[in-house]
């Protein structure tokens, strides 16, 4: 069993549309390109983290589609090979017994159900388990290190998003009941507060990471740019994201 397992929630390009609200401002094609640049930033950050904790961490790609359909695209195999991810696997956000049909997208299920499915899978794989999003390009290796350091007995960790949600949550395996994910209201300003309340009811102290933004719509771009251009964090993937951001701004002039 791996010491720390992280599941990142993703949609497979070519099978699912991403960033649809952003697409209303910049167009579907450019929004999809932006999502892939976000993935680049995430994978670059993850690989640096993985190299620092060699053999102690594992990445799980929680895809929003049927697992076999996602595998067949070869997208994630190519992406992980490109960035040099060493220990990784794919699972679906759809429970195996969901009986929703082959190729179904997990987004037809509620987010709470999807997170609960993934959380249960993670607990079979690691002593410390974490979930995170792929659309907070301000995330740094130091944030992941802090998350690992703060998880302990009856002690979890959460990174809040500026919109009221969260970009990361982690706890010891077996200390947060997967059913707790199903009673939370998602995509609203109270999501992180509700998760904190669920932790309290379970007797789990929840430490906080720094607050970051996630990219959902056009109005997020200014703050996202500030987080990506923090001194000392320049990188190949972040430079690529900033090139995309400039193109997006040109599109909506």
pLDDT score of 108 = 54
CB atoms within 10 A of CB 128: 23
pLDDT score of 103 = 45
pLDDT score of 96 = 66
pLDDT score of 97 = 57
Q: How many residues does the chain have?
A: 253
Strands 155-160 and 166-172: antiparallel
Question: What DSSP string describes 178-245?
Answer: GGGGGGS--SSTTHHHHHHHHHHHTT-EEEE---B----SGGGHHHHHHHHT-TT---HHHHHHHHHH
Q: Quick check: 158 and 184 in contact, CB under 8 A?
A: no
Give a yes or no: residue 253 inside a domain: no
Give a yes or no: residue 157 inside a domain: yes
Range of the domain at 228: 2-245
Give a yes or no: residue 250 inside a domain: no
pTM for the model: 0.94
Using DSSP, state whether 111 is helix, strand or coil: helix
- Token readout for 190 is 């109270």
Give a yes or no: residue 252 inside a domain: no
CB atoms within 10 A of CB 34: 24
Give a yes or no: residue 7 inside a domain: yes
- Domain holding 187: CATH number? 3.90.550.10
pLDDT tens series, the chain, 253 aa: 789 999 999 999 999 999 999 999 999 999 999 999 999 999 999 999 999 998 999 999 999 999 999 999 999 999 999 999 999 999 999 876 555 444 444 445 789 999 999 999 999 999 999 999 999 999 999 999 999 999 999 999 999 999 999 999 999 999 999 999 999 999 999 999 999 999 999 999 999 999 999 999 999 999 999 999 998 899 999 999 999 999 999 988 7
Give a yes or no: residue 251 inside a domain: no
Give a yes or no: residue 80 inside a domain: yes
Give a yes or no: residue 132 inside a domain: yes
Query: What Å distances lie between residue 245 and 219, 225, 232, CA to CA?
Result: 12, 8, 20
pLDDT score of 231 = 86
- What is the domain count for the chain? 1
pLDDT score of 2 = 87
């Amino acid at each position: 069993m791996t010491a720390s397992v992280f599941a990142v929630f993703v949609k497979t390009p070519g099978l699912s549309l991403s960033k649809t609200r952003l697409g209303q401002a910049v167009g579907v094609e450019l929004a999809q390109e932006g999502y892939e640049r976000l993935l680049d930033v995430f994978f670059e950050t993850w690989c640096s983290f993985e190299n620092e904790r060699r053999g102690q961490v594992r990445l799980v790609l929680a895809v929003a589609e049927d697992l076999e359909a996602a595998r067949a695209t070869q997208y994630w195999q190519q992406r992980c090979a490109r960035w040099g991810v060493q220990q990784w696997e794919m699972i679906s956000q759809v429970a195996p017994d969901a009986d929703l049909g082959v190729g179904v997208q997990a987004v037809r299920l509620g987010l709470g159900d999807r997170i609960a499915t993934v959380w249960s899978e993670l607990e079979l794989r690691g002593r410390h388990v974490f979930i995170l999003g792929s659309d907070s390009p301000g995330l740094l290796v130091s944030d992941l290190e802090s998350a690992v350091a703060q998880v302990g007995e009856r002690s979890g960790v959460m990174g809040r998003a500026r919109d009221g949600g969260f970009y990361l949550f982690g706890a010891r395996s077996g200390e947060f009941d997967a059913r707790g994910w199903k009673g939370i209201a998602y995509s609203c300003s109270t999501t992180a507060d509700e998760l904190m309340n669920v932790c309290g009811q379970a007797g789990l102290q929840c430490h906080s990471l720094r607050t970051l933004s996630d990219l959902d719509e056009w109005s997020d771009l200014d703050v996202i740019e500030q987080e990506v251009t923090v001194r000392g964090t320049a990188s190949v993937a972040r430079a690529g994201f900033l090139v995309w951001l400039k193109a997006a701004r040109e599109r909506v002039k």
